[in-house]
Amino acid sequence: MKRSLPALALAGTALFVYAVAGLGVSAPDHYLCYKAARAKGQPKFSKGATTALEDQLGGPLTFDVVKIAAICNPVDRDGSGVVHPDVHQEGFKIKVHEGGPKFVKSNHVTVDAFAQRTLTITAPVVLLDVAPQALGGTPPAVFGSDPTSDPTVNRFKCYKAKLAKGSPKFLPPASPSVVDAFFGIGRQFVVKNVTKLCEPVDEDGETPGAETRQTVLVCYAVKLAKGSPKFVKTTVATNDANVAPHILVVSAPAELCMPALEPTPTVTPTPTPTATAVTTPGKRVFVTSTATNGQIGGTFGADTICAERATAAGLLGTFKAWLSVTGDGPSTRFTQSATPYGLVNGTIIANDWNDLTDGTLAHAINVDESGNAVTFGEAWTATDAAGAPKATNCSNFLNNTSSVSGVCGSTAQTNAGWTESSTPTCDTQLRLYCFER
């Protein structure tokens, strides 16, 4: 982000780079974004600031950086955990620099922990830039080296988004519980609608290749659930090395941004995928052809694997993993179908949800996404036959060590052992069961 005017007060003249100690390969974080503005008495935002941004839609293109729009805290959503607690996102409103190309709307398919959706993006609106944050009016030290060198940490170029024409009406998911630096204990939020799609971005050549990274953010408008304590305005200080340190007043939570994948080509018009014929009268089920250890990334990571395997096999629809974490399992995450569940080759395994969860299957789940037989295999589940969570779950499937274990099921069994047969250590490579939503 380049400033054409002198630096604001408190800004240094040295070239700053970022650092976060101990960053490793891990799951991306969720963010809760708050409305924020400069504190009273702070200098106005510099006019003439520009930045060159490149994401998967093109670039680098020059954008004017207009003002501060938000501050986003990494959050624990329903037990997702926080991987990078020191890496916040500072939001800046942007617009295409004079003379730049006109933006063309496009449709994008996204899969996050709430749902698969087709979104239409209409304009770039916000840049999210990694920044340290501290409560109060004293700016923290800048990062010592760029945290985006970790591929799970990104800057994002956010586009205004809405459900694509013809999409089903938005149905709010169950109210998530969110814990962050401002809420010491979990607060329930009501999810209202989709607001943004945010693509990983290379800003001013600082993270070459970031534009090719796969994990995006889908942002939802949220409000505190009825009966929750009112949010109290909070003063925070940031120190984004690309701009001056800022002292901000945070006024209200506004958006929950969820890690997501785009499993199909994004820019419209998109080619029509070749779909595998649906021979079952209801919901399709498969066991993955690939295996993973217990560090899956929770239910989001498992659902992502199912979505990827279904897409690779040309299976249309939304697929979720038969997997549980503490307090959340298929009995609460799944649509409980009144129609049959069947393998992708047409073999029925259960007549409906009640039949699926009565402890006995009509046929083992022993066919992968491409219809190939799996003679014998095991799948991570941490789930009992009724679809409820088991406590032995590889630390909510965030652990791949031999010191902890997780419940798995057998692809050779049709009794309750299909989902609860043994407890291997979490460094073991096992498959996943995937169910059509």
> Residue 357: its pLDDT value, please?
96
DSSP-assigned letters across all residues of 286-353: EE-SS-B-SBS-HHHHHHHHHHHHHHHTT--S-EEES--BTTB-HHHHS---SS-EEETTS-EEESSH
Q: In this structure, are 44 and 163 located in the same domain?
A: yes
Last residue of one domain, picked from the residues 261, 291, 315 = 261
CATH of the domain at 302: 3.10.100.10
Query: 213 and 103: one domain?
Result: yes
Q: Which two tokens stand for residue 234?
A: 């909070």
Residue 296: inside a domain: yes
Matching residue, tokens 């207009």: 66
Which single residue is written with the structure tokens 């989709």? 194
- Residues spanned by the domain of 177: 30-261
Backbone phi and psi for residue 323, each to the nearest 5 degrees, phi listed first: -150, 145
pLDDT, residue 85, reads 92
Give me the pLDDT at residue 264, please. Answer: 47
Assess if residue 412 is contained within a domain.
Answer: yes
Same domain (yes/no): 257, 355: no
Which residues lie across from 409 on neighbouring strands? 379
Q: pTM above the 0.75 mark?
A: no
Assigned domain for 206 exists? yes
Where does residue 360 rank: exposed (0-12), middle (13-18), buried (19+ CB within 10 A)?
middle
Q: Is the peptide bond before 60 cis (omega within 30 degrees of 0)?
A: yes
| Positive/negative CA dihedral, 276, 277, 281, 287 | negative
Q: Report residues of the chain scoring pLDDT below 50.
A: 2-26, 264-280
- What tokens were used for 307? 């979505």
Structural domain total, the chain:
2
- Structural domain contains residue 5: no
**Is 119 inside any structural domain?**
yes
Rounded to whole angstroms, the Cα distance separating 286 from 315 reads: 11
**Same domain as 340, residue 205:** no
The region, left, alpha or beta by phi > 0 then psi within -120 to 50, assigned to residue 85 is: alpha
The SS3 call for residue 264 is coil
| 314 and 241 inside one domain | no
How far, in Å, CA of 378 to CA of 360, rounded?
17
Q: Do both 203 and 287 map to the same domain?
A: no
Instruction: Say if 174 falls within a structural domain.
Output: yes
Residues with Cβ < 8 Å from 413, sequence gap 6 or more?
364, 421
pLDDT of residue 14: 24
**What three-state secondary structure class fits 196?**
strand
Rounded Cα distance between 184 and 52, Å, is 37
pLDDT in the model for residue 43: 78
Whether residue 145 sits in one domain with residue 246: yes
DSSP state string for 149-171: GSTT--EEEEEEEEEPTTPPPP-
One domain, residues 42 and 184:
yes
Distance CA 171, CA 159 (A): 22
Residue 257 pLDDT: 96
**Residues 74, 187 share a domain:** yes
- Whether 218 is in a domain gets the answer yes
What count of residues does the chain have? Answer: 437
- 232 by Cβ neighbours in 10 Å (0-12 / 13-18 / 19+) ranks as exposed
In whole angstroms, what is the distance from residue 401 CA to residue 35 CA? 40
Q: Are residues 311 and 203 in the same domain?
A: no
- Flag whether 390 is in a domain: yes
Same domain, 219 and 82: yes
